[in-house]
A and B are shown apart, each in its own frame.
Chain A
């Protein structure tokens, strides 16, 4: 079974703090993704990575950056957290073909006070 794990299920941070969200997959997948999920808005892609050290902006990259130093690990960074970044963050991974299923982690619910 594919396993995608995220470092925290719940996180509470203060405005202006730097926040790191970690994601690890165990299937040797080339592609990894960060989404945010908000009620009524579905999933929106923040960034994705198709290889180590490679990244591409998604639909809502502002206020976020990412790091992929190893194939299995993809980090999302909020340089200076703001209240409008309070959300559920989902990580996913998939193999190379575009027909491949994306496998999701359990999500991190981030609250920024």
Chain B
């Protein structure tokens, strides 16, 4: 079974700091990769996804993620965070052709104004 690892479950940083959240997966075949975000009191929504092409993908709200196949990683980045980026972030992976998503345990990010 594939698994998804997210480290540093709790992250606290100040506004304007840079954010990088790591995501590693264990499956060796062709995969689709997703980052979802859950803002306080809101439902889970897609930040960005990768399935082919340029390994650097850009999502909403200034987020980007880079797929590094050799490292089985799909790290999320934002150069300068805002207070409104306070949320829980989930990495998710599925095998190409299989709709079942495996989620990581999430990163709780708190941005201090």
Contact = CB atoms under 8 A, between A and B. Distances in A.
Contact of B99 (A42, A90, A94): A94
A45 B49 contact: no
Interface in A31-54: 31, 33, 35, 40-45, 48, 50
A42 B103 contact: yes
B9 A98 contact: no
Contact of A106 (B43, B51, B100, B104): B43
A42 B94 contact: no
Contacts of A44: 103
Contact of B106 (A42, A101, A102, A105): A42
Nearest to A100: B99
Where chain B touches its partner, the secondary structure class is loop
A45 B32 contact: no
Interface in B1-44: 1, 6, 9, 32, 34, 36, 42-44
B42 to A, nearest CB: 8
A44 B98 CA distance: 16
Contact of B51 (A4, A43, A45, A99): A99
B96 interface: yes
Question: Which of A33, A43, A104 has the most B CB atoms < 10 Å from its CB?
Answer: A43
Contacts of B49: 99, 101
Interface of B: 1, 6, 9, 32, 34, 36, 42-46, 49, 51, 90, 92, 94-106
When A and B form their complex, which 5 residue pairs have the shortest distance between CB atoms, in order from nearest? A42-B105, A104-B44, A43-B103, A99-B51, A42-B103
